[in-house]
Amino acid sequence: MTPPHNYLAVIKVVGIGGGGVNAVNRMIEQGLKGVEFIAVNTDAQALLMSDADVKLDVGRELTRGLGAGADPEVGRKAAEDHKDEIEEVLKGADMVFVTAGEGGGTGTGGAPVVASIARKLGALTIGVVTRPFSFEGKRRGGQAETGIGSLRESCDTLIVIPNDRLLQLGDAAVSLMDAFRSADEVLLNGVQGITDLITTPGLINVDFADVKSVMSGAGSALMGIGSSRGEGRAVKAAESAINSPLLEASMEGAHGVLLSIAGGSDLGLFEINEAASLVQEAAHVDANIIFGTVIDDSLGDEVRVTVIAAGFDAGAPARRPVEAQPAAARRNPIASVVPGDSGADRYGQHHLDRDRDRVPARAAANSAPAREELDDDLDVPRFLR
């Protein structure tokens, strides 16, 4: 008689290119559990510095291990030349995250190749990438947009993190190293917000099939992160997440939402309910909301909320402009979307009446003087402060 097997979801994180490999190193450093790490690069020297479980040098013949020279075509060809090796390391995965910094060579050109192979193997494929800072130049920005478009077609779900919005979370004295470290940290939280739901036991458990129901074929997605301590911590963290400067658009219209609430063992049912209700109000009225909790006593009295919204009717949420907003405006993301012309790179007109009617009490509460002193806690997640 064959003994029963206990099957666990096999999750692999592939960092491709310099930015992707740096992000993987950050995830390993922070102790992300339950996943296998794979580093892919055309730069052999940078690859040697990685702590990933598997290292794949795809630049041996084409670039002689010297990198792609910020040319996405070189990155694409290098990945295609090593398709068999990439397929071999991805075999058996139920979920594959492809992470990269868009705008360069290896990540921009190679990420769609890796994602296509993962989907062909039947894995739920999620892209988590950064859009470059404006100061990195128009050429890099243009290459990033092209790469994001290609990756979107190759993934089930694509989360794009705009580096420019990280400037809204820091002060004028932030160093370049700290800025890029913050970008790596956000990539980490994008992956961790999903994987922890599956791999970490909680008060309310979520399995791989639940996550797949939201993420499979969902297209573009938005991610918001928030944290808070003290009285009303869960709802404040949820407010911070749906108001996050990382969100390029409103959550309105999202048909699928993954909601992760992490806290210590004292996390209460009623505070969880209040936070989840707030997120539900911000999404589509018929949204499929997959909700789970993660118990992590290392957080102390902090509650951390991660919201990933996907499944928009138009295929992708309309982009919001990157500009510094007053704290009061950021606290109500649904009412602060800038209207304009439709189009891939313009800002879509959002219909806000439903949400305004639905949450007047919440908006009034947000404007109360007693809440003003909490602005910093609401607007800036603790890990970025």
- The answer to whether 348 is a known ligand-binding residue is no
> For residue 87, what are the CA distances in angstroms to 93, 108, 114, 213, 222?
10, 19, 8, 25, 28
106 is in an annotated binding site: yes
- What pairs with residue 41 in β-bridges? 57
Q: According to the annotation, is 373 in a ligand binding site? A: no
22 annotated to a ligand binding site: yes
Q: How far apart are CA 106 and CA 172, in angstroms?
A: 31
CA–CA dist 136, 70 (Å, integer):
12
Q: Is 18 annotated as a binding residue?
A: yes
Does the annotation place 136 within a ligand binding site? yes
Residue 105 marked ligand-binding: yes
Angle at 72 between CA 138 and CA 128, to 5 degrees: 85
**140 is known to lie in a ligand binding site:** yes
The reply to whether 288 sits in an annotated binding site is: no
Query: Is residue 101 a known part of a binding site?
Result: no
Alpha helices in 82-137 (DSSP H): 83-90, 106-120
Instruction: Using the Cα atoms of residue 43, residue 49, residue 50 and residue 55 in order, give the sign of their dihedral.
Output: positive
107 is an annotated ligand-binding site residue:
yes
DSSP string covering 365-376: HHTSHHHHTTHH
Please give the annotated binding residues for GTP, written as ranges: 18-22, 105-107, 136, 140, 184
Q: Which residues are annotated as a binding site?
A: 18-22, 105-107, 136, 140, 184
